Amino acid sequence: EVQLVESGGGLVQPGGSLRLSCTASGFTFSNYWMHWVRQAPGKGLVWVSRIKSDGTYTNSADSVKGRFTISRDNAKNTLYLQMNSLRVEDTAVYYCARAGIFPVSPLFSWGQGTLVTVSS
């Protein structure tokens, strides 16, 4: 069974940093593209970033470019999102999601999410 467990969320002041983790199990992590998607309280889903299976290629939404960095450690079956220069508008539940083995594919499995609150 595919399992994705996010951690690392919490309360941080504007301008601060946070690193989210997503630990994967139940599948061969190193074969799949992985994504981060966020959801502000009471709002819809917004794509944040994605990373290739071997970690050599990434893409991010314009709203987070230069501030957020997606990475992965395939030996640890873990996906990361380093978030710097956080803004109030980054407040959201952050989900990691497993896509397919190809760059163009649905988001097949999702973690339960971790809440990031940016507030002074």
Partner 1 sequence: DIQMTQSPSSLSASLGDRVTITCQASQVISRFLNWYQQKPGKAPMLLISDASNLETGVPSRFSGSGSGTYFTFTITSLQPEDFATYYCQQFDTLPLTFGGGTKVEIK
Interface residue list for partner 1 (CB under 8 A): 35, 37, 44-47, 50, 59, 61-62, 95, 104-113
Nearest to 90 by CA among 44, 19, 38, 34: 38
Nearer to partner 1, 59 or 77 (CB): 59
Taking the complex as a whole, the smallest distance from the CB of residue 13 to partner 1 amounts, in Å, to: 26
Nearest to 97 by CA among 83, 81, 115, 109: 109
Nearer to partner 1, 13 or 60 (CB): 60
Taking the complex as a whole, the smallest distance from the CB of residue 120 to partner 1 amounts, in Å, to: 27
What does residue 66 show for φ and ψ, rounded to 5 degrees?
Answer: 85, -10
The length of the chain, given as a count of residues: 120
Taking the complex as a whole, the smallest distance from the CB of residue 49 to partner 1 amounts, in Å, to: 9
Question: Could you give the C-alpha distances from 66 to 18, 42, 70, 100, 113, in angstroms and in order?
Answer: 15, 26, 11, 26, 23
Nearer to partner 1, 50 or 72 (CB): 50
Nearer to partner 1, 59 or 75 (CB): 59
Taking the complex as a whole, the smallest distance from the CB of residue 28 to partner 1 amounts, in Å, to: 18
